Chains A and B, each alone.
Chain A
Amino acid sequence: MSTISLKSVRKSFGKTEVIHGIDVEVADGEFIVIVGPSGCGKSTVLRMVAGLETVTGGDIAIDGNRVNDLEPMERNIAMVFQNYALYPHMSVFDNMAYGLKIAGMPKAEIAERVQTAAKMLQLEEYLTRKPRQLSGGQRQRVAMGRAIVREPSAFLFDEPLSNLDAKLRVQMRLEIKQLQRSLGTTSLYVTHDQVEAMTLADRLIVMNAGVAEQIDTPMHVYEHPASIFVAGFIGSPSMNFLPAKIDTGRSTLSLESGANVSAEGLVLAAQSGREIIIGIRPEHLELASPDRADLTLHIAAVETLGADTLVHGSIAGAGVDGTKNASFAARLPGNARIAEGETLPLRIADGALHLFDRQSEKRIAEI
């Protein structure tokens, strides 16, 4: 049983507050991924849980015990660092055994645990090597092994895969996931890579500028993003946004371009006249005949990916960011033959609209 709980956790460096109060309850065995752009405070949150950074306000509890004032070792956590932080002068075996040695574990038991971990990570033949004699992926495994042998309450990962090449990253991602599943150890994982976030997480924490914008399962975050930030951050290419207004008495939205978009079953009459922003994921756009089209896309670039074709372009009418023409992307089937420079009539798939308030940038709850 290991749970982690953060209650309005804040952090200031000097006078600048960088974490503005984060609340999350991590259940036993859960894999939580913290994702967000660079500098949003992901590492800081993780390091506070690890005990490497003091907590300015709020409480952190592991297994129900407040740990704010405990040393990292006393919290019984293990951490995997981005640059692995292996001890360069120690063999792989000693790297993994170091924490156990300090804890005063008998030699035989240390050897047994290291052997088990090495087997799990396919490191058996490298135990006598020094870290510099290993490849990046192997070093990564040693760092994992060092965490595993401790049998900690929780694993903390800070961008552990970002120093690996793309192919290895995919492979290690799967290995981490399987390992975490088989060990059932509660994990906090920091990344800025949304594919990693989506594939690994039981639940996602999407952070922006020191605030947790949304905490939910990856699919829920994808399907019901809580704010424009989350909607734009998760998904690639990112969601398209257009300013719009709810029409009086009708269930349509009028776009700046003058076009109307049907919002059947979405909008309350009471909200008519409200200024909003609509969001449409690129994959929710379909080719349509010009008379049935909701939007007309002026194509600027086409990316043929095989399975899909990505079309980038612009839509007449102001964008959310004040540009004259809103930039737009659509993901169409791979067999669609599209040439650059054309215009493309597009239809929005049914029920695929996301509505956000223009002022607060928060999602408008579906009704």
Chain B
Amino acid sequence: MSGMVEKRGRGYWLTHAGLIGGVLVIFFPIYLAFVASTVSQPEIVRPPMPLIPGGHFFENYREALVSGINAPVARMLFNSTVMALGIALGKIVISILSAFAIVYFRFPFRQTFFWLIFLTLMLPVEVRIVPTYEVAANFGLLNSYPGLILPLIASATATFLFRQFFLTVPDELAEAARVDGAGPMRFFIDILLPMSRTNIAALFVILFIYGWNQYLWPLLITTDPQMNTIVMGIKQMFPSGDDIANWPVIMATAILAMLPPVAVVIFMQKLFIKGLIETEK
């Protein structure tokens, strides 16, 4: 009890003040964007900047979602979702399978393959973007979902993480499964996969956001506005030349672009913590 009382001293309030201050600093620009998305174009351009939400919320958001500027935001949100899900799930499937192969099977040049995968860590998309574009274009992947997803799907980091996790799983578990008559894939599906679910959940969150935030690659591979993703779409909305920027709609788009990653974090966080509590070797 005395500990609790002491904790409520000055330090307690100071830490909270610090945290609240930090949250406000981070939250303020987002709030400004939200305010901007609820007012009309003339209100935005006339100083001072409005600080209280206006009355054009539904109007602006409907306009963004349905017509947008180049392409409807609903369409771009859908494209982004497909790309982010494809990248996240694809990366998880591929990396967990490669980690499984590297840890549990003895095949020639096993270590070599591992190091080859590991080396690709040093080659991010930006470094290999020209040859990758060339290959994707030759395969006819421009303006397509596979074109958005496939070149980004291999992941050395995720492979490495799963490998490290599999190495901590006791060998006896694999042996017990063998004695029980489980073949390699059965062991993988019945035992390894359920045991990895916290890792999968954590990776999914990280990779979904990674996929969602891709900017450079979608910019190259899509030319058709109907295939634009939301993150590059926002930039495309900025007018070129003398056109007037439709700030309320752009801001509404920005707010909409934030929602799916936030939803994924909030939803997966529950699963993530639940997994953390339940799993134990």
Residues of A whose CB lies within 8 Å of any CB of B are 50-52, 71-73, 77-79, 81-83, 85-89, 98-99, 102-103, 130, 132, 146
Contact B176 A85, beta carbon cutoff 8 Å? yes
Contact B181 A99, beta carbon cutoff 8 Å? yes
Q: What's the Cα separation between A98 and B191 when bound, in Å?
A: 11
Q: What's the Cα separation between A78 and B180 when bound, in Å?
A: 8
Q: What's the Cα separation between A79 and B195 when bound, in Å?
A: 22
B51 at the interface (CB under 8 A from A): no
Classify the secondary structure of B's interface with A: helix
Q: What's the Cα separation between A82 and B170 when bound, in Å?
A: 12
Contact B180 A52, beta carbon cutoff 8 Å? no
Taking CB atoms, residues of chain A closer than 8 Å to B176 are: 79, 81, 85-87, 146
Contact A79 B186, beta carbon cutoff 8 Å? no
Contact B181 A102, beta carbon cutoff 8 Å? yes
Taking CB atoms, residues of chain B closer than 8 Å to A146 are: 176, 180
Task: Indicate whether A79 sits within 8 Å of B175 (C-beta atoms), given known contacts A85-B170, A87-B191.
Answer: yes
What distance in Å separates the Cβ of B102 from its nearest Cβ neighbour in chain A? 21
Taking CB atoms, residues of chain A closer than 8 Å to B173 are: 85, 87
| 90-127 of chain B: CB within 8 A of chain A | none
* Most chain B CB inside 10 Å of its own CB: which residue of A72, A79, A88, A130: A88
Contact A78 B179, beta carbon cutoff 8 Å? yes
Q: Which of A79, A89, A99, A103 contacts B194 (CB 8 A)?
A: A89
Q: Which of A72, A88, A89, A130 contacts B179 (CB 8 A)?
A: A72
Taking CB atoms, residues of chain A closer than 8 Å to B172 are: 81-83, 85
Q: What's the Cα separation between A82 and B173 when bound, in Å?
A: 11
Contact B195 A88, beta carbon cutoff 8 Å? yes
A-B CB contact pairs (8 Å), 28 listed: A50-B179, A71-B181, A72-B179, A72-B181, A73-B179, A73-B181, A79-B175, A79-B179, A82-B172, A83-B172, A85-B172, A85-B176, A86-B176, A87-B176, A87-B177, A87-B191, A88-B280, A89-B191, A89-B194, A89-B278, A98-B180, A98-B182, A99-B179, A102-B180, A102-B181, A103-B181, A130-B278, A146-B176
Taking CB atoms, residues of chain A closer than 8 Å to B180 are: 73, 98-99, 102, 146
Taking CB atoms, residues of chain B closer than 8 Å to A73 are: 178-181
* Most chain A CB inside 10 Å of its own CB: which residue of B170, B181, B190, B195: B181
Interface size on B, residues (CB 8 A): 20
B46 at the interface (CB under 8 A from A): no
Contact B170 A83, beta carbon cutoff 8 Å? yes
B226 at the interface (CB under 8 A from A): no
Contact B279 A85, beta carbon cutoff 8 Å? no
Contact A52 B178, beta carbon cutoff 8 Å? yes
Q: What's the Cα separation between A132 and B195 when bound, in Å?
A: 13
Taking CB atoms, residues of chain A closer than 8 Å to B279 are: 88-89
Taking CB atoms, residues of chain B closer than 8 Å to A82 are: 172
Taking CB atoms, residues of chain A closer than 8 Å to B177 are: 87, 98
Contact B175 A85, beta carbon cutoff 8 Å? yes
Q: Which of B170, B175, B186, B280 contacts A132 (CB 8 A)?
A: B280
Q: What's the Cα separation between A72 and B179 when bound, in Å?
A: 5
Q: What's the Cα separation between A139 and B78 when bound, in Å?
A: 49
Residues of B whose CB lies within 8 Å of any CB of A are 170, 172-173, 175-182, 186, 190-191, 194-195, 278-281
What distance in Å separates the Cβ of B233 from its nearest Cβ neighbour in chain A? 42
Using CB atoms, name the residue of chain A closest to B174. A85
Using CB atoms, name the residue of chain A closest to B193. A89
Taking CB atoms, residues of chain A closer than 8 Å to B178 are: 51-52, 71-73
What distance in Å separates the Cβ of B273 from its nearest Cβ neighbour in chain A? 17
Taking CB atoms, residues of chain B closer than 8 Å to A81 are: 172, 175-176
Q: What's the Cα separation between A295 and B136 when bound, in Å?
A: 92
Q: What's the Cα separation between A87 and B173 when bound, in Å?
A: 7
Using CB atoms, name the residue of chain B closest to A84. B172
Contact A88 B281, beta carbon cutoff 8 Å? yes
Q: What's the Cα separation between A130 and B280 when bound, in Å?
A: 10
Using CB atoms, name the residue of chain B closest to A72. B179
Q: What are the 3 tightest A-B residue pairs by CB atom distance, in nearest-first order?
A: A73-B181, A99-B180, A85-B172
What distance in Å separates the Cβ of B234 from its nearest Cβ neighbour in chain A? 42
Q: What's the Cα separation between A98 and B187 when bound, in Å?
A: 11
What distance in Å separates the Cβ of A102 from its nearest Cβ neighbour in chain B? 4
Q: What's the Cα separation between A51 and B180 when bound, in Å?
A: 12
Taking CB atoms, residues of chain B closer than 8 Å to A130 are: 278
What distance in Å separates the Cβ of B237 from its nearest Cβ neighbour in chain A? 47
Question: Given A52-B178, A130-B278, list of 9 further CB < 8 A pairs?
Answer: A51-B178, A73-B178, A73-B180, A83-B172, A88-B195, A89-B195, A99-B180, A102-B182, A146-B176
Using CB atoms, name the residue of chain B closest to A71. B178
Using CB atoms, name the residue of chain A closest to B175. A52
What distance in Å separates the Cβ of A337 from its nearest Cβ neighbour in chain B? 51
* Most chain A CB inside 10 Å of its own CB: which residue of B170, B176, B281: B176
Q: What's the Cα separation between A103 and B195 when bound, in Å?
A: 22
What distance in Å separates the Cβ of B106 from its nearest Cβ neighbour in chain A? 12
Q: What's the Cα separation between A132 and B194 when bound, in Å?
A: 15
Taking CB atoms, residues of chain A closer than 8 Å to B191 are: 87, 89
What distance in Å separates the Cβ of A12 from its nearest Cβ neighbour in chain B? 17
Task: Indicate whether A77 sits within 8 Å of B179 (C-beta atoms), given known contacts A85-B173, A98-B190.
Answer: yes
Q: What's the Cα separation between A86 and B177 when bound, in Å?
A: 10
Using CB atoms, name the residue of chain B closest to A52. B175
Q: What's the Cα separation between A171 and B278 when bound, in Å?
A: 31
